[in-house]
């Protein structure tokens, strides 16, 4: 019955009537053009809605180019020279990978991806990607990671990389080599954005475009006229779009009207293992997703040589067959020759066959997909740069391994093809008319045309017009003065009667810093819907929440001191429940010194469990991108955040963090420690311009804060380990050493007092950072001077040591290899659970009682 109903509704009740409507529309188009027709359709759709009829409009358009040939702007380049240049770059990229693997087959590398993307890259480099605008910063370009060989090959032509560097592709250990993928850490003056982990590039591109707008709105972008013109480009893969991060910020980009952003998706229909959507059409799927999210979509599917075919296809039969051909079949059509395409595609319908009857098999073979035609690509790129309030995605259809013949074009295994035999190399040379003799081809010689050749002059001229060469990375910016700690943080150095948590201490320090005229505006506080949790809701009113649309509604709490205030010049980034988005904002702000020439200081405060554990890969990318700033892991510690239970209680973030070489992590217990660490961090990042970032765990347990002890110097706190209290029993030498960090230091102090009451002399140490201590010990050991390490200076001898932590025991245990004494570690090694702090600390064995027992047994 249901099926019959469906059949009833799907069938055309009155084909004649339908035909009349279509003809009426055709008449409107003929008389008044497409925009009038569009107006009428919109009016009809609106009317249908009012009548309660769901118009059920598709989000996709036919499988054709979005830009009609008659609307295409004239191509402004020299197509012959550009095609010669891209052929040479293709060759050098291929030669680089194959040479590396001749030297050492384990090195790897990719040929097929860049082969498919070369024209997408080259049109960008020749026409769009600006290195600088009026001497100010230029566009930001995110490049597909495994197409890096093409970028190196271009830089070689430009004279920015030497033949020897090309020859050391993926050989970096002895210097002078080239990274596998875009790695700013390893090539700091070259690569800007690490895109090696699929999905992080698209996400970051959105937030960079957004941050550009944020800087401009706040008057921090330098010359405002330039900043309005800057653009963010990202060339990504169609397979990469499967990553949740790739699509996760589409809504934000549309909502905030980021028309300074273009995604170019190289739709070669394949990923590593096989087709992206064998049974479907990835381009149509992406079109629907992006259009639904509010983006402009420009499809670049067919090259110029298809224009004539479409023009003659009066019945729309070509479009119909392209529409119904699956990607899996398109892949086979890419992997085969003209004859096969004629027999298996065009022969499906006599009308199709007739369309190509005048063409030879070779001509059919050379029919280009849109993503291989610079003329079609540049039309799309130029259109995407027109500001219409929406971001743009360009869906470019290509062939994976384009030009690699049956050795790689469209083959299921093309992604990992990195060896080509001589026959394949010679065929590649012929396919792209490269000026190389057989011997040069077999020897995989790199080719650079003479400096005075038209190609080289053209190449340099184009880049000159676009403000210089790309990619290129700026490494420093103007330093920013840091106010003296006493000016904003004196309270933190004195004892407080009032109980304060370290989160509250941090918030107070932040408030003070925000008031500093020079540093204040450069701070970018970031939250992912937890400002109230961490007690910084006052910032809503104080500095405003950034929203490019300002606040068009009357907030419910307008009369409150803490009113929820959105503002077009707001300073706080409230990212909603998106830790990945918040982290991408943190990266944009933390690398603003490089990407925008304006140093900023991001402080992102979040539930500590949803940091390294949830978005660790983004933090890793931030590290390699040399981001500078503070990450605040709040409500940290497995027993300190007590009620929230297993999923929230963080006992491991410090262990993850310790694996990131330029992240300095801290687990402070007291206000003066927090203040000292913040002060040092800001100096290190903004004045000394060192590429480090700080991870600080801050807690929600409030207790009276002690004053900075007289015997403690800032260097002691910053070394990661210092003596907080000498023995209290009057004995000259301690019998046991107790170490604690974070709130557990208070349990350690209590334990020391209990031990003293038993007549046992205990020394109390605060470990502000086990990883700093361990890194120092490791460095001293490597340098052959272990006796100079902080550990040796503080903890040498055979006095038993007990360390207690709110983190897993692996965190303090980092010190174990460097200690001579008996070392007992108490940690929180288990799933978390809900209960009172006392109960949890007893359960995990990190309360004062457990510490006393551990000390007693260590003394036995
Ligand atoms: C997060 C992550 N997972 C897996 C990979 C390994 N990887 C690199 S490229 C690739 C396939 C990419 O396919 P696509 O995005 O379609 O790019 P194409 O090479 O086809 O242009 C994979 C799986 C990676 N780099 N990052
Ligand atoms: Mg692909």
The residue nearest atom 25 of ligand 1, judged by CA position, is: 197
Q: Which CATH superfamily is domain 79-303+368-465 in?
A: Thiamin diphosphate (ThDP)-binding fold, Pyr/PP domains (3.40.50.970)
Which residues of the chain are in CATH 3.40.50.970 domains?
A: 79-303+368-465, 485-704
Question: In the chain, what are the helix, strand and coil shares in percent, each to the nearest 5?
Answer: 45, 10, 40
Is a pLDDT exceeding 90 seen at residue 232?
A: yes
Is a pLDDT exceeding 50 seen at residue 358?
A: yes
Which ligand 1 atom sits nearest the alpha carbon of residue 181? 25
C-alpha to C-alpha distances, 92 to 168, 232, 291, nearest whole angstrom: 13, 27, 38
Structure confidence by residue, pLDDT tens digits, 83-94 = 999 999 999 999
Q: Could you tell me if 562 and 595 are in contact, meaning their C-beta atoms sit under 8 angstroms apart?
A: no
Which ligand 1 atom sits nearest the alpha carbon of residue 196? 25
226 band by pLDDT with thresholds 50, 70 and 90: low
70 is in an annotated binding site: no
Q: What are the DSSP calls for 159-214, one per residue? A: TSS-HHHHHTBT--TTSS-B-SS--TTTSTTT------STTHHHHHHHHHHHHHHH
Which ligand 1 atom sits nearest the alpha carbon of residue 200? 1
> Can you give the pLDDT at residue 33?
85
Residue entry with tokens 């390490």: 789
Cβ–ligand 1 contact at 271 (below 6 Å): yes
732 band by pLDDT with thresholds 50, 70 and 90: confident
Report the percent of the chain where pLDDT is more than 70: 98
Count Cα atoms within 13 angstroms, Cβ side, for 549.
10
Q: Could you tell me if 650 and 613 are in contact, meaning their C-beta atoms sit under 8 angstroms apart?
A: yes
Q: 482 C-alpha to center of ligand 1: Å? A: 43
Cβ–ligand 1 contact at 848 (below 6 Å): no
Nearest Cα residue to 268 out of 258, 277, 255, 259: 277
Q: 145 C-alpha to center of ligand 1: Å? A: 9
Is a pLDDT exceeding 80 seen at residue 228?
A: no
Cβ–ligand 1 contact at 240 (below 6 Å): yes
Nearest Cα residue to 633 out of 682, 567, 700: 700
Extended strands (E) in 245-289:
261-267
227 band by pLDDT with thresholds 50, 70 and 90: low
CATH 3.90.79.10 fits 485-704, yes or no: no
Q: 486 C-alpha to center of ligand 1: Å? A: 51
Distance CA 767, CA 373 (A): 61
> Can you give the pLDDT at residue 305?
96
Average pLDDT over residues 612-634: 97
Q: Could you tell me if 419 and 81 are in contact, meaning their C-beta atoms sit under 8 angstroms apart?
A: no
Give the 3-state secondary structure of residue 102. helix
Is a pLDDT exceeding 60 seen at residue 475?
A: yes
Cβ–ligand 1 contact at 272 (below 6 Å): yes
Which ligand 1 atom sits nearest the alpha carbon of residue 240? 15
Average pLDDT over residues 193-210: 98
7 band by pLDDT with thresholds 50, 70 and 90: very low
**10-24, 207-221, 310-324, 441-455: segment of lowest average pLDDT:** 10-24
Task: Report strand pairing: 136-137 vs 132-133.
Answer: antiparallel
Average pLDDT over residues 17-45: 92
Structure confidence by residue, pLDDT tens digits, 385-439 = 999 999 999 999 999 999 988 889 999 999 888 888 899 999 999 999 999 999 9
Architecture of domain 720-859: 3-Layer(aba) Sandwich (3.40)
The residue nearest atom 10 of ligand 1, judged by CA position, is: 272
Our mutation pick for probing the ligand 1 site, out of 239, 282, 327, 404, counting the most ligand atoms within 8 A of Cβ, is: 239
**52-56, 263-267, 812-816: segment of lowest average pLDDT:** 52-56
> Can you give the pLDDT at residue 10?
57
* Host H or E run for residue 142: strand 140-142
Give the residue, 100 or 768, on which the prediction is more confident.
768
Average pLDDT over residues 515-544: 96
Average pLDDT over residues 318-328: 97
Q: Could you tell me if 253 and 209 are in contact, meaning their C-beta atoms sit under 8 angstroms apart?
A: yes
Is a pLDDT exceeding 60 seen at residue 571?
A: yes
268 is in an annotated binding site: yes
Give the single-character DSSP code of 787. Answer: G
> Can you give the pLDDT at residue 57?
84
Is a pLDDT exceeding 60 seen at residue 250?
A: yes
Average of per-residue pLDDT values in the chain: 95
577 band by pLDDT with thresholds 50, 70 and 90: very high
Cβ–ligand 1 contact at 150 (below 6 Å): no
Strand order, beta sheet including 629-634:
573-574, 523-527, 601-607, 629-634, 693-698, 663-666
> Can you give the pLDDT at residue 416?
85
> Can you give the pLDDT at residue 225?
53
Structure confidence by residue, pLDDT tens digits, 133-163 = 988 999 999 999 999 999 999 999 999 999 9
Structure confidence by residue, pLDDT tens digits, 679-711 = 999 999 999 999 999 999 999 999 999 999 999
Cβ–ligand 1 contact at 769 (below 6 Å): no
Which residues of the chain are in CATH 3.40.50.920 domains?
A: 720-859
Beta bridge partners of 603: 525, 630
270 is in an annotated binding site: yes
Give the single-character DSSP code of 499. Answer: E
Cβ–ligand 1 contact at 415 (below 6 Å): yes
Average pLDDT over residues 717-726: 97
Cβ–ligand 1 contact at 408 (below 6 Å): no
Which ligand 1 atom sits nearest the alpha carbon of residue 197? 26
34 band by pLDDT with thresholds 50, 70 and 90: confident
Q: Which tokens go with 345?
A: 């595609």
> How long, in residues, is the chain?
860
Report the percent of the chain where pLDDT is more than 90: 92
Q: 596 C-alpha to center of ligand 2: Å? A: 31
Our mutation pick for probing the ligand 1 site, out of 110, 236, 240, counting the most ligand atoms within 8 A of Cβ, is: 240
Neighbours of 425 (CB within 10 A): 21
């Amino acid at each position: 019955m249901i099926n019959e109903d469906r059949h009833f509704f799907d069938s055309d009740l009155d084909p004649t009537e339908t035909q009349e409507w279509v003809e009426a529309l055709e008449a409107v188009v003929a008389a008044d053009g497409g925009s009038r027709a569009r107006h009428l359709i919109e009016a009809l759709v609106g009317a249908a809605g009012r009548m309660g009829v769901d118009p059920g409009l598709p989000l996709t358009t036919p499988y054709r180019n979005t830009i009609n040939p008659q609307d295409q702007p004239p191509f402004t380049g020299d197509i012959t020279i550009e095609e010669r240049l891209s052929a040479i770059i293709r060759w050098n990229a291929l030669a680089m990978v194959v040479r590396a693997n001749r030297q050492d087959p384990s090195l790897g590398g990719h040929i097929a991806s860049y082969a498919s993307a070369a024209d997408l890259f080259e049109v960008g480099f020749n026409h769009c990607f600006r290195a600088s605008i009026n001497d100010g910063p230029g566009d930001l370009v995110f490049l597909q990671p495994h197409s890096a060989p093409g970028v190196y090959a271009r830089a070689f032509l430009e004279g920015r990389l030497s033949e020897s560097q090309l020859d050391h592709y993926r050989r970096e250990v002895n210097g002078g080599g080239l990274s596998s993928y875009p790695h700013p850490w390893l090539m700091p003056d070259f690569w800007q954005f690490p895109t090696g982990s699929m999905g992080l590039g698209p996400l970051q591109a959105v937030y960079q475009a957004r941050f550009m707008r944020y800087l401009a709105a706040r008057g921090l972008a330098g010359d405002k006229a330039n900043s309005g013109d800057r653009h963010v480009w990202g060339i990504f893969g169609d397979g990469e779009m499967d990553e949740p991060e790739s699509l996760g910020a589409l809504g934000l980009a549309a909502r905030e009207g980021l028309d300074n952003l273009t995604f170019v998706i190289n739709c070669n229909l394949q990923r590593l293992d096989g087709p992206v959507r064998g049974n479907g059409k990835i381009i149509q799927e992406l079109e629907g997703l992006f259009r639904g999210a509010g983006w402009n979509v420009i499809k670049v599917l067919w090259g110029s040589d298809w224009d004539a075919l479409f023009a003659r296809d009066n019945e729309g039969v070509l479009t119909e067959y392209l529409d119904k051909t699956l990607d899996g079949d398109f892949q086979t059509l890419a992997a085969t020759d003209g004859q096969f395409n004629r027999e298996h595609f065009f022969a499906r319908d006599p009308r199709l066959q007739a369309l190509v009857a005048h063409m030879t098999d070779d001509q059919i073979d050379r029919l280009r997909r849109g993503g291989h035609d610079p003329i079609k690509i540049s039309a799309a790129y130029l259109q995407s740069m027109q500001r219409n309030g929406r971001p743009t995605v360009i869906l470019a259809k290509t062939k994976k391994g384009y030009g690699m013949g049956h050795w790689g074009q469209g083959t299921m295994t093309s992604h990992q093809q990195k060896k080509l035999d001589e026959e394949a190399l010679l065929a590649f040379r012929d396919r792209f008319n490269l000026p190389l003799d057989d011997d040069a081809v077999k020897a995989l010689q790199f080719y650079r045309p003479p400096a005075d050749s038209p190609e080289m002059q053209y190449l340099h001229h184009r880049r000159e017009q676009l403000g210089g060469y790309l990619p290129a990375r700026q490494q420093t910016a103007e330093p920013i003065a840091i106010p003296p700690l006493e000016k904003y943080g004196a309270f933190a150095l004195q004892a407080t009667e009032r109980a304060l948590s370290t989160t509250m201490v941090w918030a107070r320090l932040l408030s003070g810093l925000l008031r500093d005229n020079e540093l204040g505006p450069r701070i970018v506080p970031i939250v992912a819907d937890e400002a109230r949790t961490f007690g910084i809701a006052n910032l809503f009113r104080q500095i405003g929440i950034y929203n490019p649309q300002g606040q068009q509604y009357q907030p419910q709490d307008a009369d409150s001191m803490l009113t929820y205030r959105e503002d077009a010049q707001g300073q706080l980034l409230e990212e909603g429940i998106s830790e990945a988005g918040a982290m991408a904002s943190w990266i944009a702000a933390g690398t603003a010194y490089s990407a925008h020439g304006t140093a900023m200081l991001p402080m992102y405060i979040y539930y500590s469990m949803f940091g390294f554990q949830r978005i660790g890969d983004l933090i890793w990318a931030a590290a390699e991108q040399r981001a500078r700033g503070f990450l605040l892991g709040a409500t940290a510690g497995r027993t300190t955040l007590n009620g929230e239970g297993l999923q929230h209680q963080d006992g491991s973030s410090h262990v993850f963090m310790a694996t990131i070489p330029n992240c300095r992590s801290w687990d402070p217990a007291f206000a003066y420690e927090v203040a000292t660490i913040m002060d040092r961090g800001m100096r290190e990042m903004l004045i000394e311009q060192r590429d480090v970032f700080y991870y600080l765990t801050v807690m929600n347990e409030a207790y009276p804060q002690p004053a900075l002890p007289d015997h403690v110097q800032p260097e002691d706190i910053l070394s990661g380990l210092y003596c907080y209290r000498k023995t209290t029993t009057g004995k000259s030498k301690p019998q046991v050493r107790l170490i604690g960090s974070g709130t557990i230091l208070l349990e350690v102090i209590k334990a020391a007092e209990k031990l003293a009451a038993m007549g046992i002399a205990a020394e109390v140490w605060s470990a502000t950072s086990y990883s700093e201590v361990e890194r120092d010990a490791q460095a001293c050991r490597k340098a052959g001077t272990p006796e100079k390490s902080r550990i040796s200076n503080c903890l040498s001898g055979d006095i038993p040591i007990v360390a207690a932590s709110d983190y897993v025991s692996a965190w303090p245990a980092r010190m174990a290899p460097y200690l001579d004494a008996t070392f007992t570690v108490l940690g929180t090694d288990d799933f978390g659970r809900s209960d009172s702090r006392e109960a949890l600390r007893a359960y995990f064995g990190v309360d004062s009682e457990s510490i006393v027992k551990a000390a007693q047994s260590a003394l036995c």
